[in-house]
Amino acid sequence: MEHLISQLAQTISAKDAAALVTVIEAKGPSPAKIGAQLALLSNGITSGTVGGGKLESSILEDAKKDLTERKCGLHHYQLTEEGQDSIGTLCGGEVTVFVQAYFPPPQLVIVGGGHIGRPLKIMGEAAGFDVVVVDIAAGKDQVPELEQVAPRMIVSWS
């Protein structure tokens, strides 16, 4: 468990997306136990387990979908061959998991660090943006600082 949390924390600190899956309910025969956790990192690596086999495969599929759609999710699985939410197993139990998705903050690039740029930086950080301020003296035609910026979100007003 400690390794799982450590990997998740490193991924979030690196401003990469990740998901933490937690079993919140398990009824009847099931390989999943309440409280079991699995981390899905942005590079596809997983840490921990929520039961293994077809169940874990189905859970990972839903966690990947939640990350792609940038949302958190509550998912229910029937460990039966047929029926609603069935995953094609014979265990007969039921499992519910919560997928907590973590995403890097959106990036706000402010060009100009003058009397408007500085307070805008403070407001952007307070609003949860990863703020980059690019300031260049007049007359220069190269902005090397801007070449290093990989915008994740562009906001424009008309």
What was the pLDDT predicted at 137? Answer: 53
What was the pLDDT predicted at 75? Answer: 96
pLDDT tens digit at each of 158 positions of the chain: 678 888 888 988 888 899 999 999 999 999 999 999 999 998 888 999 998 899 999 999 999 999 989 999 999 999 988 888 888 888 888 999 999 999 988 888 888 877 888 888 889 999 999 888 887 655 444 556 556 666 554 443 33
What was the pLDDT predicted at 147? Answer: 61
Query: Is the backbone of residue 35 left (phi > 0), alpha (psi -120 to 50) or beta?
Result: left
Q: Which two tokens stand for residue 24?
A: 């919140």
Provide the residue ranges of all domains of the chain, joining segments of one domain with +: 2-102, 107-147
What was the pLDDT predicted at 73? Answer: 93
Per-residue b or e along 81-98, where b marks 16 or more CB atoms closer than 10 Å to that residue's CB: eeeeeebebebebbbbbe
What was the pLDDT predicted at 143? Answer: 52
User: How far apart are alpha carbons 121 and 117 in whole angstroms?
Assistant: 6
Return the DSSP state at 42: T
Q: Tokens 């805008």 identify what position?
A: 120
User: How far apart are alpha carbons 50 and 44 in whole angstroms?
Assistant: 16
What was the pLDDT predicted at 118? Answer: 81
The reported pTM is 0.73
- Closest C-alpha among 39, 43, 53 to residue 4: 39
What was the pLDDT predicted at 136? Answer: 67
pLDDT tens-digit map of 108-153 = 888 887 788 888 888 999 999 988 888 765 544 455 655 666 655 4
What was the pLDDT predicted at 74? Answer: 97
- Closest C-alpha among 46, 50, 56, 53 to residue 35: 50
